[in-house]
Amino acid sequence: MSRLAVRGVPLETIERLNAERTIALSRYQADGAIDRFGYLEDLAADHGVEFETILTLTDVLGPDEDFDGLVTTLEDLGPGGL
C-alpha cells in the first residue's frame, strides 16, 4: 500500500473513485472539477461534510448517482452529514 495521499485521501482511494466513474469525464469538468475525485471533494466542502461521508455515500449509491442521488442525499442530510 502506498503512502501517497492528496489532502489525507490515499492515492489508492482516489484511483478507485476515478476508475469507477460511469459518467463522462466532461460532465465533471463542466462542474469545475478535473475528475470524479475533485468533484466529490468539492461536494464535501460545499455541503460541509467530511470526505469519509462522501466515500460512504458513493459506495452505497454507486457512481451513476454522482449528480442526482448523491446531491439529493447530501441536501437531505444538511451540514455535517451523518
Burial category of 74 from C-beta neighbours within 10 Å (exposed 0-12, middle 13-18, buried 19 and up): buried
Report whether 62 contacts 40 (CB < 8 A).
no
Name the grid cell of 8: 489525507
In order along its 82 residues, the chain shows pLDDT tens digits of 557 767 788 999 999 999 999 999 999 999 999 999 999 999 999 999 999 999 999 999 999 999 999 999 999 987 766 6
19-24 contact pairs (CB < 8 A, 24+): 20/63, 21/63, 22/62, 22/63, 22/64, 23/63, 23/64, 23/66, 23/67
Q: pTM value? A: 0.88
Report whether 43 contacts 71 (CB < 8 A).
yes
